[in-house]
Structure 1
Amino acid sequence: MNNIISTLISRRSDLLQALWQHLGISLLSLLIAILIAVPLAIVVLPHKKTANIFLQLTSILQTIPSLALLGLLIPLVGIGTVPAIIALVVYALLPIFQNTYVGLTEIDPALEEAADAFGMSRLRKLFKVELPLAKPFIISGIQTAAVLIIGTATLAALIGAGGLGSFILLGIDRNNMPLIIIGAVSSAALALLISGWIFFLKNHRARWSFLSVALIILGMIGAGLYQAVKPKPETITIAGKLGSEPDILIHMYADLIKAQSPKTHVVLKSNFGKTSFLFNALRNDDIDIYPEFTGTVLESLVKTPKTKQRLTAPQTYQKARRLLQQQFQLTYLQPMAYENTYALAVKASFAKAHHLKNISDLQTVQSQLHGGLTLEFIDRDDGFKGVKRLYHLDFPVQSMEPSLRYEAIASGRVNIVDAYSTDSELQQYQLLVLKDDRHLFPPYQGAPLMRQDFAKQHPKIVNVLNKLAGRISATDMQKMNYQVNVKKQSSAKVARQYLLTHHLLKE
C-alpha cells in the first residue's frame, strides 16, 4: 500500500493528464456513437429486414479483436487519437443501436394509435411519445456502451493516444505492480463515475440530459479552441518503443535538443508501442524522431534481397541508412557504440548443469526446453524462425510480453527466453546469454531515425543528436537499464546523469 501511495504522489501530474485524455477520448467516442446509432435505429424502425441487417452488422463489428481493429486502422488514418476513437465508436454502436431499436419497437401499439388520433405529425410523435417511452432502453444501451468504451480505451495507449492504459502498459513493462493497480483502479473508477452520471440522467427529465450533453460539448469545443488559438512554440515529438532502454534514449535526445534550443518544446511519447507503430507514425508525421536499430531496419522495415553474407556493424548501418533514404525518404543518423542484439538466455544454473555455452549446445537438451519468447521474436526471420532453420532447434514456446518472460524463467515456468544483450534482467535473474556461434543475429546498433525533410529543416538537431554517435557502451546501457528497472530510478534522471558524467551536457 505504501508503494502505491508513494507512486500515486510522485506521478499525480501524469495521472491527471492520463485521466483527462481517457475521459476526452471516451466521451467523444460515446457522443459520436450516440449520434450514429440512435438516428439509424429511428430510420430503420419501419423496415424490419433492414433493421435486422444492421443488428447483424453491428454484432459482427463488435467481434473484431480490438488490437486487430487498431492494426487495420493505422495504415488508413495513422496513429494517435483518431484510430482510437474510430475503434471505440465501432464497439459502442451495437448496445446503443440495439437498445434504441428494441425500445421503440416495444411501445404499446395503443399509445401509437392514440398519438395518431390526436393528429400528431411523425416528428412530433417521435419526440413527444416514442423517444420518452423508449428512453429507459436507450439510456441503458448508452450506459453499457460507456462502460465498454472506458474499459477498451486503455488500449489507446498502444498507439500513442495516451489515457490510463499508459500506466498499465508501463507497469507491465517495468514489472511495477503499483502502476498497474493505479491504471486499472482509475479506469474502473472512471467507468463507475460515468455509469452513475448516465443513471442519474435516466431518472430525471430530458432537459437534464440535453443540458449535460451540451455542457460537455461546449467544454470540448472550448478546450479545442483554446488549444488552437494559444501561441505554440515549435514542438518536436520524440517517441520510444516499449521498455526502459528506448525511454532512456529519448530522454537523452530531449535533453540534448533542449540544451541546444531552449525555446523548442519537446514532447516525449514513452512506451509508444511496437516497431511497426513507430515506423508508421514517423512516416505519417505523427512523430518526428525515434531510436531504431540497424538490424531491425534490415530485417523488418526495408525491402532487401536475402543474403547469407554476414555484414559487419558498419556495413549493416550503411546499408540500412541507404535503403531507408531510397525507399522511404528517411534520415538515419550515426549509431551509438553498443549493440543490443537478440540473444537466447537460460538460467546460469541450468547452463552449468548441462554444459551449455553456445546456442548449438541446446540440441543436447532440446527435449527439455520450454520457451517464453516475445511475439516479435517468434515471428522474425532473425528470431525463432532463424533459430529453427540455422540451429535445427524446435521446442514448444509461449508468446509473452518482454517483462513477463523474465518472470516466467525466474519462477521456472519456462527455461529459455529471448533477450536483448543489454537487458538489466540478465543480471537481475542471473541468466546466461548463449553465444550465437552460427551468427544468426545481425548487428543491432541504435540511432535516431527521422524524416528527410525534418532533418533538412533542423540541421542543429541533427548535429546535437550526433553527439551520441559512437557513445554508450554495452556495459553503460546495461547499467542504466538496471538503474531504471531494478533500482526504480526514473529514465529522465538516469539519462541526464549519463550526459552530465560524459560531458555531453552542462549543469
Structure 2
Amino acid sequence: MNLRMRSRALKAASLAMAGLLLSSCGLSSGSSLPLAVEPGIIQPVPELEGQTITVGSKNFTEQLIMGYLGEFALAAAGANVRDLSSIQGSTTARNALTSNQIDILWDYTGTSWVNYNGNNNPIPDARAQFEAVKKQDLERNGVAWTAIDYQVDNTYTFSVNQDAAKRLGVEKVSDIPRVMAEHPEDATFCVDTEFASRNDGLPGVEQAYGFKTDPSKVKVLTEGAIYQATAQGTCTFGEVFTTDGRIQSLNLKLLADDKQFFPRYNIGVTLRDEMLKRYPQLTQVFAPVSERLTNQELMKLNAQVDVEGRDPADVARDWMAEQGLIKIPGQG
C-alpha cells in the first residue's frame, strides 16, 4: 500500500471508530474535500454557494465511492463540503443523518424498508418499493429521498466458486436445502456481521427457503474477506453484493434468488426533509449522477478499488470527469 492509500486507510479507520462513538461523544467534525473539482455538466447553484454540507457514507467500498460522488457533485455546485465517510454500520450512519451530524447519505431502499422501518415483507417491484419507502421514511422519520437510481440494485445473494457450482449442481438459492441434505460437509457459509443478524440477511433467508444452518459451519468474516474465502473454497456459500467488482475478477457464480426474498436495494440520496425543502436544488445536483450509474458501471468502479487497489476518491473523481459531470483542475 502506498503512502497515499495508507493515509486514507488510517483516516477511514479513525472515522469508523468515530462512528462507534455516535451515542456518547458524537461523530468527528469531518474533513475537507479530498480532491479539487470544477463545474462541468453540474454547474454552480446560487442557493448552494458557500453553504456547508456534510456528506457521510458507510464503511464499505461502494459507499465510499458513492459518498465521494456526492461530495464532488456538491463541490461543483458551489457548496462547502465536509467529508464524513466510512461510518461503521448502517444504523450508525442513519442515526448520524437523523441527528444532524451528517446532511447527505446515499442509501438503499431495501435497507430502509427492512432495517430502519422494521418491515418483514419486501416489495419485489422496484418502483413500488421506492414509493413505499419514501412515504414511510418521510412520515415516520422526517427523512426525504431524492435522485433515486432504478438502474442500480445492489441486493444480496449467495455466490459459489465454479468448482462447487459444477460439483454440487447449484444454480439458485433454493438448491441450498438439497446440498445441506445430500452433502452436509459442504453446507458451509461465509457472511459478514450485519448479514448474520439482519432480517434481510441469513435469518430471513433460512425462514424463506426452509433451511437451518449449523452455527459451527457459519464463518463471520469482514465483508471484503468473504469473496476470497468463497473463491478458495474456505466456505461453499458466500454472501455477496451483486454490484461488487470481485465477483467477476474471482469468477464467482451468483445464485439466483428464485423466491425473490431479498429486497430491492436501489440507491438514492437521503437527507432530512427540512433540508430538501430549504434546498430543493439538491435534486438537480445529484440527478445527473444517478442517471449515469448502472450495476455494470458501479461494478467496474468497485473493482478499481477492491481489485486494482485504487483510492475511492480518485476513482469517483475520474469517473465523474469521464462523464463530463465535473472537470479536474488543470485538465481543461
Q: Please, what TM-score do these two structures have when normalized by structure 1?
A: 0.55
Q: In 2, Cα distance between the equivalents of 1:378 and 1:402?
A: 11
Does 1 or 2 have the higher relative contact order (CA < 8 Å, sep 6+)? 2
Letter in 1 for 2:315: V
Who is 1:250 aligned against? 67
Q: Deviation per CA, 1:110-145, whole angstroms, max 9, x where unpaired? A: xxxxxxxxxxxxxxxxxxxxxxxxxxxxxxxxxxxx
Secondary structure of residue in 2 paired with 1:80: coil
Where does residue 388 of structure 1 map in the other structure? 206
Q: 1:495 aligns with which of 303, 306, 316?
A: 316
Decide whether aligned partners of structure 1 residues 322 and 242 sit closer, same or farther in structure 2, where only a CA change above 3 A counts. Answer: same
2:292 match: secondary structure = coil
Query: What is the alpha-carbon distance in structure 2 between the residues aligned to residue 428 and residue 324 of structure 1?
Result: 37
Distance 2:237 2:158 in 1: 7
Are residues 409 and 17 of structure 1, via their aligned partners in 2, closer, same or farther at CA, if it must alter by over 3 Å?
closer
1:276 corresponds to 2:223:
no
Cα separation, 2, equivalents of 1:487 and 1:322: 40
Equivalent positions of 1:21-60 (< 5 A) are none
Counterpart amino acid of residue 289 in structure 1: I
Q: Distance in 1 between matches of 2:295 and 2:208?
A: 26
Cα distance between partner residues in 2 of 1:267 and 1:234: 10
Structure 2 residues not aligned, in runs of 5+: 32-49
Backbone CA RMSD of aligned residues: 2.7
Partner letter of residue 322 of structure 2? T
State whether structure 2 residue 26 is matched by structure 1 residue 79.
yes
Alignment of 1:370 with 2:184, yes or no, is no
Structure 1 CA distance for aligned equivalents of residues 250 and 202 of structure 2 = 22
1:259 maps to which residue? Answer: 76
**Would you say the 8 A contact 1:78–1:284 is kept in 2?**
no
Shift of the alpha carbon at 1:283? Answer: 0.9
The structure whose Rg is larger is 1
- CA–CA separation in structure 2 for the residues paired with 1:344 and 1:15: 28
Question: How many aligned residue pairs are there?
Answer: 300
> 1:236 — aligned with what?
53
The question of whether the paired residues in 2 share the 8 Å contact of 1:78 and 1:281 is answered with no
Shift of 1:332: 0.7
Summarize the alignment of residues 21-420 of structure 1 with structure 2, pairs less than 5 Å apart. Answer: 74-75=22-23, 77=24, 79-81=26-28, 234-261=51-78, 264-304=79-119, 306-307=120-121, 310-336=123-149, 337-366=151-180, 367=184, 368-395=186-213, 396-420=217-241
- Shift of residue 335, structure 1, vs aligned partner: 1.4
Task: Give CA-to-partner distance per residue, 1:238-277, whole Å, 9 cap, x none.
Answer: 111111111111111111111111xx32122222111011
Shift in Å at residue 161 of structure 1?
8.1
Give the conservation status (yes or no) of the 8 Å contact 1:78–1:286.
Answer: no
CA displacement, residues 283-322 of structure 1 (integer Å, 9 cap, x when unaligned):
1111111111000010001144x44x74300111111111
1:381–1:426 distance in 2 versus 1, CA, 3 Å: same
Give the gaps of 5 or more residues in structure 1: 23-66, 82-159, 163-232
TM normalised by structure 2 equals: 0.82
Q: CA deviation at 1:489?
A: 1.7
Cα distance per residue 1:159-214 (max 9 Å; x no partner): x889xxxxxxxxxxxxxxxxxxxxxxxxxxxxxxxxxxxxxxxxxxxxxxxxxxxx
Structure 1 residue 13: deviation in Å?
Answer: 6.6
Contact 1:330 1:449 in 2 (8 A): yes
8 A contact 1:78–1:280 mirrored in 2: no
The Cα of 1:380 is off from its aligned counterpart by: 1.8
Q: Distance in 1 between matches of 2:286 and 2:241?
A: 24
